[in-house]
Structures are given as C-alpha cells and as structure tokens.
Amino acid sequence: MRSGMMKRGLGILTSLLPGAQSARRFERNMKECAVSDQGPSDFDVVEDNEQVRLEKNLEDCAVPEQWCSYFEMAEGWMQESWEKIIWPMIRGADFSNVLEIGPGAGRNTAMLAQHAKEIHCVDLNEYPLHKCRERFANYPGACVFHFHQNDGHTLPMIRDGSISMIYSWDSMVHCSKEVMHSYIREFGRVLRVDGFGFIHHSNFGEASSKRSFKENPHWRTDMSKPLFLQYCGRSGLRCVEQRVINWVEARDLDCISTFTKGSESGFIGA
Ligand SMILES: C[S@@+](CC[C@H](N)C(=O)[O-])C[C@H]1O[C@@H](n2cnc3c(N)ncnc32)[C@H](O)[C@@H]1O
C-alpha cells in the first residue's frame, strides 16, 4: 500500500471529492488504517501537499465552539493592547474603509468603529459574525458595518482597490503559511494605492508541528516574519515595519507586520 500509486491516488481523490470536508474525512480514515505502521505514513507525505495543509488548517479553525470561551476572557485585555501596542502603530492610517479579518465577538471592531466610516468584518465562522451583528445592531455612532462569512482564505466579497486599511489582531496567528499566502494575495488586490495594513501573525515558523498548529505554543502556526515579507513582495505590497512580539514563556512567537501598496509616498508609520 505504501506505493507512489497510493500517494497519487490520495492526491487525485482530494481534488475530486466535492469539498474539503469529504477529503479530510477520507484522509482521516486512511490515517486510522495506517496507525499501526512504523515510520512515516502515506498520510504524512500527503500532508506536505500545500492544498491539503491549507484545508487542514481551515478545518481546524472552523470549529466554532473552540473560540467561544476566549471571547469573554479576551475582552478585558483589549484596552491595554490597543493603547500600548496597536494604536501607536495605526493612528496615521486612513480609516474610511476598513477590512477586519477574524473579528471574533468584535472587541477590536468596537475600537476601530470609533474612527472608521465603514468596516467589513470577514470571518470563517458564522457564530462570531452572529455575535458581532448583535453587538453592533444599535450602534450609536456613524460607522456602517458589513459582516461576511468566507472560505477562510479568499475575499471575493471585497471589491478591488476599495479598502483603505486592513486590520487583524489575534486571529491570523492561527493561519498557516498557505492560508496567509492566499490572504496576502487578496490584500494586494483589495487594498487602495497608498492604503495601509496591520496584521498580527505567527512567527513560530519552521519550529511548528507538522501535524497541527494546536500542538504549538498558543496555537501558533508555521507562518514567519520573513515569509510575510516575501508574500508581500509577490503581491505588490511593501512591508513598512515588522515588530516581533515576545511572550513571557516564548520568545519571538508573534510578529506584527504593517504594509502599504504602490507608491513610495504612502503611509510610513505614525
Ligand atoms: C482567537 S479568535 C480572535 C477574535 C478577535 N480577533 C479578537 O481579538 O477577539 C479567532 C477568530 O478568527 C477566526 N478565524 C480563524 N481562522 C480564520 C480564517 N482563516 N479566516 C477568517 N477568520 C478566521 C475565528 O473564527 C475566530 O472568530
């Protein structure tokens, strides 16, 4: 069974089955069958395939209940993160049309809304969007909200060149390098010339578990600071600043990357 034909068979099945979930179910089945074998299995080889890794990351992130307990707990940390880290890095940006990836229950959205004319919140899961709709239903300010569920790596609902600022805090740290690459390509498309991006992402890089990001400290993925720079370069974006963040028990775990598009005269920091 450990033949090249078997590997190719899995690859073909993955691409032919109707959706990622069916493909994953099939692969799980295969993994369970191979569990008593020694050494690397065919499943491990298939896991190296970029499309399969992207789908696995999305499937792992799409368990809605896993984020629920986080939402309330994290609310209390927002003000301090905003004042000490976030606001000093974004205060010079144009907030007229903001795109936020992974809003969760909207604690960042509430801060952004104090400055934004319009916010598009995009999340892979419906439950956080439902929480956001409830939270901002009677918003007293001038900001207009749009909530979109997506496939976890593309932004078909956002028009080319329509966004003045792209923002994500504490969500894309769970996105694999394949998912990040796909999103950064989309950022290059939707950002206006001279627009600004602020993305908090993993810097755990090569040290990451090959099986699941959930085995890594704070569920960080195989994304890294140099990869972010490289993906920006391929997508017509220019990194403005990359700031590595240390956790008490884990140094260099995260990175905040800011970027702009197009002209050299764009936003270059507050
Ligand atoms: C840990 S919560 C953080 C929420 C919010 N950013 C905050 O700081 O409170 C992660 C959120 O990101 C969303 N998410 C995870 N992977 C995603 C992806 N690939 N694309 C869009 N949203 C994603 C989850 O559904 C969840 O709402």
Kindly list the structural domains of the chain, giving each domain's residue range(s) and its CATH number in brackets, ordered by start. 4-48 (no CATH), 65-261 (3.40.50.150)
Calculate how far, in angstroms, residue 5's C-alpha sits from the geometric centre of ligand 1.
Answer: 38
Other CB atoms within a 10 A radius of the CB of residue 183 amount to 25
Average pLDDT, the chain: 83
- pLDDT by residue (tens digit) across 69-101? 999 899 999 999 999 999 999 999 999 999 999
Does residue 44 contact residue 52 with C-beta atoms inside 8 Å?
A: no
Tokens of 21: 């979930």
**Triad 226, 174, 205: Cα angle to 5°:** 30
Residue 220 burial class via C-beta count within 10 angstroms: exposed 0-12, middle 13-18, buried 19 and up: buried
Residue 191 in contact with ligand 1 by CB distance below 6 A: no
User: CA–CA separation, 77 vs 180, rounded Å?
Assistant: 25
Residue 106 in contact with ligand 1 by CB distance below 6 A: no
pLDDT of residue 251: 86
When pLDDT is averaged across residues 229-248 and rounded to a whole number, the result is: 94
Please choose from 69, 130, 171 the residue to mutate so as to test ligand 1's pocket, defined by most ligand atoms within 8 A of CB: 171
Tokens of 251: 């140094």
Nearest to 174 by CA among 56, 78, 19, 75: 56
The dihedral formed by the CA atoms of 93, 98, 99 and 102, expressed in degrees to the nearest 10: 90
Counts for the chain of helices (H) and strands (E), in that order: 11, 7
- SS3 (DSSP) at 261: strand
pLDDT of residue 246: 85
Calculate how far, in angstroms, residue 140's C-alpha sits from the geometric centre of ligand 1.
Answer: 25
Does residue 90 contact residue 270 with C-beta atoms inside 8 Å?
A: yes
- pLDDT by residue (tens digit) across 100-140? 999 999 999 999 999 999 999 999 999 999 999 999 999 99
pTM assigned to the model: 0.83
Q: Give percent of the chain with pLDDT exceeding 70.
A: 79
pLDDT of residue 227: 97
Is the pLDDT confidence value at 189 over 70?
Answer: yes
Calculate how far, in angstroms, residue 134's C-alpha sits from the geometric centre of ligand 1.
Answer: 17
Calculate how far, in angstroms, residue 157's C-alpha sits from the geometric centre of ligand 1.
Answer: 18
pLDDT of residue 235: 97
Residue 107 in contact with ligand 1 by CB distance below 6 A: yes
Residue 152 in contact with ligand 1 by CB distance below 6 A: yes
- pLDDT by residue (tens digit) across 22-33? 334 333 433 333
Is the pLDDT confidence value at 47 over 60?
Answer: no
- SS3 (DSSP) at 98: strand
Does residue 232 contact residue 238 with C-beta atoms inside 8 Å?
A: yes
The residue whose CA is least distant from atom 19 of ligand 1 is 152
The residue whose CA is least distant from atom 15 of ligand 1 is 61
CA atoms within 13 A on the CB side of 33: 10
pLDDT of residue 250: 80
